[in-house]
Amino acid sequence: MFPATALRSYLHLHFLVLIWGFTAIVGLMVSISPVALVFYRTLFAAAGLGAIIFFRQKSFKAPKSDLFRMLAVGFILSAHWMLFFASARVSTASVCLAGMATTSLWTSLIEPLVNKSSIRPLEVGLGILAFAGLYVVFSFEFDHALGLMLALASALLAAMFTVANSRLVQRIDAYIITFYEMIGATFFSFVFLGISEWLGWTGNASYMPAGKDWIWILFLALICTVYASTMATQLMKQFSAYLINLTINLEPVYGIALAFFFFGEKERMTKEFYLGTLLILLAVLLYPLLLSTVASGKKKRNLVS
């Protein structure tokens, strides 16, 4: 059993995951294009993080080589969010979140390549299970194929972002990393917004928020990004990375439930969709559990020998 304070923190962690599950829904609440939404989100998030760093009297300085890397990772993050919101817009929030559930599995394949380590058979096996789930979803939700493809591309970029950050955070404060990444994301989304408007890629969607759009944009920037990320960083002092990552894997579950609550029949999918999504989530949730079991088995064998 958790002590009372730890239980409150654990429930707080689930609340943060619930907030992150809400992002796809927010993307459907606003009238502006996905590119414009990312621009405003990152702009206000950068301002919010800058204020936190200033009032906490932290230094904004970073090595030039790392500064370039953080800005480049911001470009990746910006593209990830653009594809994420575009996926929800052309299909449904549920389809978007089903595709995003593959992020940790993409990470398990990319990380060994970056760190030049061998790929674990366990990860390959769970990857096959996850893609079997995707096959089921594709087979019975072909009308949403474009949305699912965009979500998979978004998940791949999210995995690249995670791996890059895992290396940066070893030597730079997490707030500084996120601040400069948001600046890079703001710049990239601003440039891409200009190109999209010039080429007519945004269609009839406006780039200027109107009315309630501002409320949702501020919620997305300050609550879903600044608040949730800051609090999750704080909770890392109380809980292991294993527990936090395992909880974050529930984001698609919360998101799909919230989408059905807000949009009703529009978000109702076939039973095969939920079966495929369940296979993906099963692979994601089994990964840390089986990895922990394998690690424990190796320790026991080493002790015996």
pLDDT in tens, 223-238: 988 888 778 767 766 7
CA–CA separation, 105 and 111 (whole Å):
10
Structural domain spans, the chain: 4-202+209-304
- Examine the pLDDT at 187 and tell me if it is beyond 90: yes
- Examine the pLDDT at 304 and tell me if it is beyond 70: no
Question: For residue 105, which of 88, 84, 129, 83 has the smallest C-alpha distance?
Answer: 129
pLDDT at 83: 93
pLDDT in tens, 113-157: 777 777 667 767 777 777 777 777 766 666 778 888 999 899 899
pTM, 2 dp? 0.80
Check if the beta carbon of residue 284 is closer than 8 Å to that of residue 105: yes
pLDDT at 21: 83
pLDDT in tens, 248-293: 767 777 887 788 777 776 666 677 777 877 877 777 677 666 766 7
At residue 79 the predicted structure's pLDDT band, cuts being 50, 70 and 90, is very high
* Cβ-proximal residues to 141 (8 Å cutoff; 6+ apart), any chain: 95, 148, 269, 270, 272, 273
DSSP 206: B
- Examine the pLDDT at 177 and tell me if it is beyond 80: yes
Per this entry, what is the length of the chain? 305
Check if the beta carbon of residue 101 is closer than 8 Å to that of residue 252: yes
- State the DSSP string of 236-295: TTTS-HHHHHHHHTTHHHHHHHHHHHHHGGGG---HHHHHHHHHHHHHHHHHHHHHHHHH
Mean pLDDT across the chain, nearest whole number? 80
* Cβ-proximal residues to 251 (8 Å cutoff; 6+ apart), any chain: 17, 20, 21, 97, 100, 101
Percent of the chain with pLDDT over 90: 18
